[in-house]
Amino acid sequence: MKTILIVSQDPLLTNLAERLLTPRFRTIVLGGMVSAVDAIYNDIPNLVIAEVPSGDDATVESINNLKEDPMFNQLPILAVIGDQPTPEWEGIFVEDYLRKGDLEKDLFSRVSLAVSRSERVVEINPLTRLPGNISINRQIEDRLGRGDLFSFAYADLDYFKPFNDKYGFSRGDEVIKITGRLILNFVKNRQPKGSFIGHIGGDDFVFIMEPGLIEGACGDIIRAFDQIIPTLYDSEDRERGGIQSKDRRGTARFFPFMGISIGVSGTTIRSFSHFGELTGAASEMKHFAKKTKGSSYSMDKRAGRSA
Amino acid sequence: MDSIDIRTQRTRIENINALPTVPGTVKRISQVIGKPGVTLSEISHFVSSDPALTTKVLKMVNSAIYGFPGRISSVSHAIMLLGLSVVKGLLLGISVFEIMQQVMAGLWDHSVGCAVVARAIAEKKGVKDAEEVSVAGLLHDFGKVILMLEFQPYYEEAMKQAASRKVPIFEAERAVFQETHAAVGTWLADRWRFPPNLVEVIECHHRPGSAKKAPLETAIVHFSDALVRARGFGFGGDSLVPAVHPAAFELLALSDADIRDLLDKLENSRDESGGLSL
């Protein structure tokens, strides 16, 4: 059964909502958004109905904070407002709203619709919940079209395949999830607004940032990656500094700990007419980075127009 | 009311979602979160100084939502993986003890003291993740928090018995609950999918000889527990200094100079901010 979290201090509202939604849905009632966030962290519901009283900035802030994380970005939130004028929805990350006076008539139907809509496939990578290729291409094309100045990074892992082969795919998946999370958090830390992180697939990731910020983020990501990755190896392999596994030709050899290689290009040094040129340039830089032993990044310094 | 078989209460314990913290921590949360441009390492430092915040962060990162069950035992790694906005949400959701505040404050000091000493020993012994050992020191007694929180009258009885019979608190616990805080902590740590090494330290900190996966870490926390009590830091539920297991002491092979150095570190950690800090 789908779970609906109802967040309001108004007993009239919560009682009404519970009456309208049960027995079709399982309902949980909480008094405030702060405790609701905590409950959501424990167990993600299928939808949140939150009363957003006019001028209640704390509730809006909690909602926005929650929705900024990709793990919870897909969680639909239905705001309930009173008789106040409709708020500016721009800065409030909810999917839909209802007025208190319309609950009796519309709540059940709106909730059912929102739940089924959220179940339709969204283009995200199921492992990392980061946007995939369609969104990545659109992000790049939009920025190129607007003539934005931005930097683009292409990252992948060194020695991921032997790790996957030796320990199995579920532990390989953990590495991918950790990589996605680290990139996301360190990019967002340096540039909370206007940055973008995508997951192409496998161990390939991309991110877009303001040119002045990207080099710092690359350094952060590499440091964090190199700290965490060794802890994912079995203790004997960790002592040894790597694993015995097979290379692409099937020959057994020793592989050191995985590293991350990042190539960076961007519109400040050259102009690009379409996304393929830009991703190609970043990918070339990534190959430079790969030649360095261990994790590293490589910045495109080649001026002029790309061929 | 004098005793209860805690094993019959295991489900109730496993359904606990979070530990409350002491009032001092709650006051500092808004300062830390509200600080403009607060860094991940500042937040890690703060979280690592409080057992309740540490369990919250580790529980979240090892949960099915993030999908790293049993993998992450370091606070700084957890915070890098969760990110600032999730951690802020977690910290704001913490509640505070309404009961036994003085005993809890004593237990908090004891726990932080153990974390400081455990980290210092781990560094001396060249353990790869000194931070993980520090976390184990911080959380080794978290079963006590659960017992005090959920079974307060019984726990008061256990503390009374420990004092009147002059026995260690875990013996008094066994008389009152049939089990000790080490077992209770282990149930919940398992349920919260804490990494196996951390679970083992919590389980075996009074009998380090039984540790299989993390014997060194367990010996470190076992010894830290005794040293912090000997120094009169905080309050672990009784006023005795427990005997150090000889095999554990041999395994650590600490010299007198090492131990003096550990005591200095403990002392310095107290001086830093009036209270204890890592």
Whether A78 and A194 map to the same domain: the answer is: no
Please give the average per-residue pLDDT across A107-128, as a whole number. Answer: 84
- On the question of pLDDT at B159 being above 90, the answer is yes
pLDDT tens-place string over residues A276-302 = 889 999 999 999 999 989 999 999 887
Element (H, E) at A200: strand A196-201
Residue among B17, B252, B231, B193 nearest B114 (CA): B231
Rounded mean pLDDT of chain A?
91
Whether A49 and A186 map to the same domain: the answer is: no
Q: Looking at residue B137, what is its pLDDT?
A: 97
Whether A79 and A220 map to the same domain: the answer is: no
Please give the average per-residue pLDDT across A261-270, as a whole number. Answer: 91
How far the first Cα of chain B sits from its last, in Å, is: 40
Whether residue A128 is contained in a domain is answered as no
Any idea which of A67-76, A156-165, B41-50, B174-183 has the lowest mean pLDDT? Answer: A67-76
List the CATH number of the domain containing A15.
Answer: 3.40.50.2300
Nearest-Å Rg of the Cα atoms of chain A is 23
Give the separation between CA A188 and CA A234, rounded to whole angstroms: 31
**3-class secondary structure, A77:** strand
pLDDT range class, residue A66, cuts 50, 70, 90:
very high
Strand partners, A153: A207, A264
Whether A175 and A88 map to the same domain: the answer is: no
Please count the other Cβ atoms lying within 10 Å of the Cβ belonging to residue A179.
Answer: 25
Rounded mean pLDDT of chain B?
92
- The upper half-sphere exposure of residue A224, i.e. CA atoms within 13 Å in the direction of its Cβ, equals 29
Task: Select from A35, A177, A184 the Cβ nearest to the Cβ of B93.
Answer: A35
Give the separation between CA A203 and CA A178, rounded to whole angstroms: 11
pLDDT range class, residue B64, cuts 50, 70, 90:
confident
Please give the average per-residue pLDDT across A71-87, as a whole number. Answer: 90
Whether A184 and A232 map to the same domain: the answer is: yes
**Residue A80: what are its φ and ψ, rounded to 5°?**
-110, 125
List the CATH number of the domain containing A227.
Answer: 3.30.70.270
pLDDT tens-place string over residues B99-158 = 888 889 999 999 999 999 999 999 999 998 899 999 999 999 999 999 999 999 999 999
Task: Select from A34, A189, A228 the Cβ nearest to the Cβ of B77.
Answer: A228
Whether residue A125 is contained in a domain is answered as no
Whether residue A27 is contained in a domain is answered as yes
Whether residue A191 is contained in a domain is answered as yes
Whether residue A107 is contained in a domain is answered as yes
- Tell me, rounded to whole angstroms, the distance of Cα A288 from its chain centroid: 27
Is residue A9 within 8 A of residue A29, CB to CB? The reply is no
Whether residue A221 is contained in a domain is answered as yes
**Cβ separation B129–A231 shorter than 8 A:** yes
Using a CB-CB cut-off of 8 Å, the residues of chain A touching B82 are: 181, 185
Q: Looking at residue A269, what is its pLDDT?
A: 79
- Percent of chain A whose pLDDT exceeds 70: 97
* Strand locations in B37-144 (E): none
CA distances from B41 to A23, A119, A291, B48 (A): 46, 37, 31, 10
Give the separation between CA A220 and CA A214, rounded to whole angstroms: 10
Please give the average per-residue pLDDT across A103-120, as a whole number. Answer: 88
Residues of A with CB under 8 A from a CB of B: 34-35, 37-38, 41-42, 44, 62, 65-66, 68-69, 71, 173-174, 177-178, 181-182, 184-186, 188-189, 224, 227-228, 230-232, 238
Give the separation between CA A263 and CA A132, rounded to whole angstroms: 19
Give the separation between CA B58 and CA B78, rounded to whole angstroms: 6
ipTM strictly over 0.90?
A: no
Please give the average per-residue pLDDT across A150-162, as a whole number. Answer: 95
Range of the domain at A146: 133-299
- On the question of pLDDT at B276 being above 50, the answer is no
Whether A111 and A164 map to the same domain: the answer is: no
CA distances from B240 to A161, B12, B226 (A): 54, 31, 9
Whether A201 and A266 map to the same domain: the answer is: yes
Residue among A209, A132, A224, A36 nearest B83 (CA): A224
Whether A177 and A206 map to the same domain: the answer is: yes
Whether A137 and A246 map to the same domain: the answer is: yes
Whether A156 and A198 map to the same domain: the answer is: yes
Count contacts between A and B (CB, < 8 Å): 77
pLDDT range class, residue B80, cuts 50, 70, 90:
very high
Q: How many structural domains does chain A have?
A: 2
Boundary residue ending a domain (A119, A149, A167): A119
Residue to mutate among A220, A228, A257, A260, with most B CBs inside 10 A, is A228
Boundary residue ending a domain (A119, A151, A175): A119
Whether residue A124 is contained in a domain is answered as no
CA distances from B250 to A101, A146, A224, B137 (A): 73, 69, 35, 19
Using a CB-CB cut-off of 8 Å, the residues of chain A touching B84 are: 185, 188-189
Is residue B80 within 8 A of residue B210, CB to CB? The reply is no
pLDDT range class, residue A110, cuts 50, 70, 90:
very high
**Cβ separation B65–A228 shorter than 8 A:** no
Whether A210 and A66 map to the same domain: the answer is: no
Strand partners, A260: A157
- On the question of pLDDT at A303 being above 70, the answer is no
Boundary residue ending a domain (A119, A152, A185): A119
- On the question of pLDDT at B273 being above 70, the answer is no
Q: Looking at residue B271, what is its pLDDT?
A: 60
Which amino acid belongs to residue B164? Answer: S
Q: Looking at residue A68, what is its pLDDT?
A: 87
CB-based contact, B33 to chain A, within 8 Å: no
Task: Select from B17, B68, B90 the Cβ nearest to the Cβ of A177.
Answer: B68
Structure tokens at A82: 């009173």
Give the separation between CA A80 and CA A131, rounded to whole angstroms: 29
Whether residue A281 is contained in a domain is answered as yes
Is residue A4 within 8 A of residue A36, CB to CB? The reply is no
Whether A25 and A100 map to the same domain: the answer is: yes
pLDDT tens-place string over residues A196-236 = 999 999 999 999 999 999 999 999 999 999 999 999 999 89
pLDDT range class, residue B274, cuts 50, 70, 90:
very low
For the CA atoms of A162, A168, A170, A174, the dihedral, rounded to the nearest 10 degrees, stands at: -30
Task: Name the pTM for this structure.
Answer: 0.85
- On the question of pLDDT at A306 being above 60, the answer is no
